[in-house]
Amino acid sequence: MLVLTRKQDEGFLIGKDITITIISIDGDKVRVGIDAPKHIRVIRQEMMVEIGQENRMAANSEFAPIK
């Protein structure tokens, strides 16, 4: 894992076309801006966990298609 220290309005690049910028810092909350091409999916980590749980529940439901 790469760990970076950034101040407000500073940022960094991921590859050639993804820019991460620190928008604001207020106590323990940091607002981050992400500029990425539309074809790149950007999703919060906790949402990915929730989506995975919902998918598992759907797969185990009685309405799931038979394989």
How far is it, in rounded angstroms, from Cα 42 to Cα 2? Answer: 19
Q: Which pLDDT value is given to residue 65?
A: 62
Place of tokens 């989506």: 51
Mean pLDDT of the chain: 88
The pair phi, psi for residue 12, each rounded to 5°, is -155, 165
pLDDT in tens, 36-59: 999 999 988 888 888 877 778 777
Q: Note whether 9 and 21 are within 8 A (CB).
A: yes
Mean pLDDT, rounded, for 19-30: 96
Name all contacts of 11-18 with Cβ < 8 Å and 24+ positions apart.
none
Of the candidate ranges 6-10, 21-25, 60-64, the one whose mean pLDDT is the lowest: 60-64
Per-state percent for the chain, helix, strand, coil, to nearest 5 = 25, 30, 45
pLDDT above 60 (res 64):
no
